[in-house]
Copies of this chain bind each other. A is one copy, B any other.
Amino acid sequence: MILCDIGNTNAHIFKDGEFKIESLERFLVTEFSGDVHYICVNDSLRASLKVRNNFIDLEEFVGFDTPYKGMGIDRICACKSIREGVVVDAGSAITVDIMSGGKHQGGFILPGLRAYKEAYRSISLRLNLEINREVLLDVLPENTKDAISFGVLKSLILTIQHSAEGKDIYFTGGDGEYLSGFFKNAVYDKMLIFKTLQDTFNTLINKKEKYADSCTS
């Protein structure tokens, strides 16, 4: 069984009980033996994968109850794994969603850490600096690199904390582990999206087997 979550930058692959991340460039030239069950948020890439015989798009099989229109399938899968709490998927974008009693209450989107860097670069060469992940957040910065790092991290942390209102926070995604370290009531789970993919895959296989049984009986 091969499960894939294909994003805008990387593909996350779960195969034979092992989890790995590959760049899209590398992923797209990999030859997989056996069926690949996947979700993909990149519209043009998704269309190109449809023609591959052994690639099966799981998106239409993931049911999700929400008033939100246009929610990305990766975000849906992460949320569907949690009944109660805040779900933060910190990748290219940072999506923050509130789940209550298994129902999605809505959510919002912040830029990912790399996108913040892009925002500063677009303003001025003076601000084209790496984010200092070790910046102190309890003292005011005294240089530009710390000033942008403080701006990014302080605003992310305050906004996520404010939305949580004391609820537990579940982080996933490339920067999820790092960001979860700023919160007391947080856990990091790199498999959040894959839990839903695994459930969806199991349901689909069961249905196929039942259908096959009904044809032969």
Top 3 closest A-B pairs, CB basis? Answer: A106-B140, A119-B119, A111-B119
Q: How far is the CA of A184 from the CA of B127 in the complex (A)?
A: 31
Given A123-B115, A124-B93, answer yes or no on A142-B106 (Cβ-Cβ < 8 Å).
yes
From residue A106, how far is it (CB to closest CB) to chain B in Å?
A: 3
Complex copy number for this chain: 2
From residue A36, how far is it (CB to closest CB) to chain B in Å?
A: 22
> Are B106's CB and A112's CB within 8 A?
no
What are 7 pairs between A and B in contact, CB < 8 Å?
A68-B143, A108-B147, A108-B148, A109-B144, A111-B123, A118-B118, A119-B122
Within 8 Å CB of A166, what residues of B? none
Within 8 Å CB of A95, what residues of B? 147
Contact with B along A45-89 (1 / 0, CB 8 A): 000000000000000000000111110100000000000000000
> Are A111's CB and B106's CB within 8 A?
no
Q: How far is the CA of A68 from the CA of B42 in the complex (A)?
A: 42
